[in-house]
Amino acid sequence: MPTSRNSWGPGLRRLVRSAARDCRAAARQCRGQLAPRSVHWLRVALRRFEARLLIVEGLVGRGAATRARKAVRKRLAAFGGLRDAQVHGERLAELAGNRAGLGRLRAHWHRRELRERRRAALALRTRKFDRRVRQLLEVLRDLPADAGTDRNLSLRARRMLRRLRTRALDRLPRAARDMTRLHRARIAFKRYHLAAEALQPFLPEVDAAQLAAYKDYHRLMGEIHDLDLLLGQLDRAVAEGRASADAVRAPRAALRRRRTARVRRYLRLTRKIVGAVPGSRSPDRPA
């Protein structure tokens, strides 16, 4: 059961306020030039806020929390395209350099980044976002601060974490070549990790070492997913005539080598993490 300092009512308000403050600070950093690092930290702050809003939804019901989460997801969607354009464009430039035959592909990524920048700039407006946060804090202010409420919310929080962990483990793909399932598993593990991280002050049984392992795990799956997307973009560029097969051969081989190295790490971590859960199974080694 939470201590008086970590009683659920005041505690949930602190979670919401601190996450909203981090989002505002990250958004201010983005207003200057939308640099890749600033965009990355804004998305991290938004993901953390979304996880906390999901906790509030699960513990005290939908309504203000759901409306606030929709505002956060709208921002995430706006900055997701910009993040992909920046990261993929940088990696393509790193791999291809000034290689002949890739000029049209580089121009394509540059145009896409400019388009996504305009969309992201509109999402930096905070008036509606701030209004949703204020409405949610008003709801949480009315949450009873008594031992019975704290016990009930502690039980619901534990059930929520168990469901999130089970869902993440169930979504693991049989093989790391399964792009779609790997992406879904990554999102599920990220949600579990962020929720457990937020609930750690209230639930002493949450293991910090296990949280760190899950964080490394979903980050590694994210790297594999990015490499898969880049490989798909190169194949599409050849099919649509934006690059020649000869021009993408070397970048594609480099991406495949990186992916193979990360898949080996992924399989090692999978055996370490999944092997500790009764009834779970490790994915097969990909071809």
pLDDT of residue 97: 62
Is residue 147 packed enough to be buried (19+ CB in 10 Å), middle (13-18) or exposed (0-12)?
Answer: exposed
Which residues make Cβ contacts (< 8 Å) with residue 113, sequence separation at least 6? 82, 85, 86, 89
- Helix ranges restricted to H, 200-240: 208-239
Phi, psi of 185 (to 5 degrees): -65, -40
CB atoms within 10 A of CB 179: 15
| CA–CA dist 108, 234 (Å, integer) | 12
Which residues make Cβ contacts (< 8 Å) with residue 266, sequence separation at least 6? 176, 217, 220, 221, 224
pLDDT of residue 175: 66
CB atoms within 10 A of CB 209: 7
pLDDT of residue 100: 57
Given a contact cutoff of 8 angstroms between Cβ atoms, the answer to whether 49 and 27 are in contact is: no
Q: For each of the chain's 287 residues, which pLDDT tens digit applies?
A: 444 445 788 888 899 999 999 998 998 888 877 888 888 899 999 999 999 999 998 888 778 889 998 889 988 888 888 888 888 777 777 776 656 567 777 777 788 888 888 888 888 877 888 888 888 888 888 777 778 888 888 899 999 999 998 888 888 876 667 778 888 888 888 888 999 999 888 888 888 888 888 888 888 988 998 898 888 888 888 888 877 888 888 888 988 999 999 988 988 888 887 764 433 444 444 43
Tokens of 81: 């395209």
Place of tokens 């370490």: 272
CA-based Rg of the chain, rounded to a whole angstrom?
Answer: 21
pLDDT of residue 50: 92
| CA–CA dist 37, 125 (Å, integer) | 20
Tokens of 203: 């639930």
User: pTM for this one?
Assistant: 0.80
Is residue 189 packed enough to be buried (19+ CB in 10 Å), middle (13-18) or exposed (0-12)?
Answer: buried
Domains of the chain, with CATH numbers?
8-274 (1.40.20.10)
